[in-house]
């Protein structure tokens, strides 16, 4: 089931909310644009890479700290942008104790697969209390899910060759015990709610190639 503009997805473990601005279905799967709201203390689920996808973060308000390939980039001005090239280790964190931070995120390449993994599977697991404190799936769930979606996201707490070996060894047992790479229940689970998209500052809308107010690529 494809996501739609205005749909809201919430990860209680990571304290992040995503509102869909331009879904992958509107771009042939090649690009998605999302509004990312990060509560104080919120974070991305573990240090990771997107092997074939590029992410671009543009700040609207608040502050976001992005670990990017061994350095820290702090976004604290409206319109400030950081690009995460494909294959780069990264992780973002909310950088304020007082307000929810808001950034627009563009994902370029394999956006449809990203939506399926992040918004459906990983957010669904977090909502059901089936992840660790950093929002990552447990060992057996990790084996089947991250093996299936290795082209979309790889956590970097262990070297990838070791993860590939472990996932391959554990996946048959995980499937035997009923674990699924992408649980059909999560694919059919609707969004938390539907919201009206926030009007973007002109500097941010211009960055997206959009008219003020968020009209974007068919959204």
What six digits make up the tokens of 210? Answer: 């959009």
Residue 216: is its pLDDT beyond 60?
Answer: no
Q: How many alpha carbons fall within 13 Å on the CB side of residue 135?
A: 24
* CA pair distance 78, 166, nearest whole angstrom: 43
pLDDT category of residue 209 using cuts at 50, 70 and 90: confident
Q: Is the dihedral of CA 205, 32, 197, 38 positive or negative?
A: negative
69: which strand partners? none
When the pLDDT of each residue in the chain is averaged and rounded to a whole number, the result is 93
Q: Give pTM, 2 decimals.
A: 0.91
Residue at token pair 């950081």 = 82
pLDDT tens for each residue of 33-84: 999 999 999 999 999 999 999 999 999 999 999 999 999 999 999 999 999 9
Domain 7-207 in this protein, CATH class: mainly beta
The answer, yes or no, to whether residue 214 has pLDDT greater than 60, is: no
């Amino acid at each position: 089931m494809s996501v739609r503009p205005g749909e809201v997805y919430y990860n209680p473990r990571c304290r992040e909310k995503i509102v869909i601005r331009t879904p992958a279905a509107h771009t042939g799967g090649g690009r998605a644009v999302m509004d990312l709201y990060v509560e104080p203390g919120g974070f991305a689920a573990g240090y990771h890479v997107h092997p074939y996808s590029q992410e671009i973060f543009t700040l609207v308000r608040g502050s976001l700290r992005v670990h990017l390939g061994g350095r820290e980039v702090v976004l604290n001005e409206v319109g400030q942008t950081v690009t995460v090239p494909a294959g780069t280790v990264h992780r973002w964190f909310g950088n304020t104790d007082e307000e929810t931070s808001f950034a627009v995120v563009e994902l370029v390449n394999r956006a449809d697969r990203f939506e399926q993994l992040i918004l459906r599977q990983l957010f669904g697991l977090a909502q059901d209390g089936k992840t660790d404190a950093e929002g990552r799936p447990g060992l057996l769930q990790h084996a089947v899910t991250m093996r299936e979606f290795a082209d979309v996201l790889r956590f970097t707490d262990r070297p990838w060759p070791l993860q590939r070996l472990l996932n391959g060894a554990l996946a048959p047992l995980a499937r035997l015990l009923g674990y699924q790479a992408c649980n059909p229940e999560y694919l059919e689970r609707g969004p938390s709610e539907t919201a009206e998209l926030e009007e973007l500052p002109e500097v941010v809308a211009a960055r997206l190639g959009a008219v003020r107010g968020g009209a974007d690529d068919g959204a």
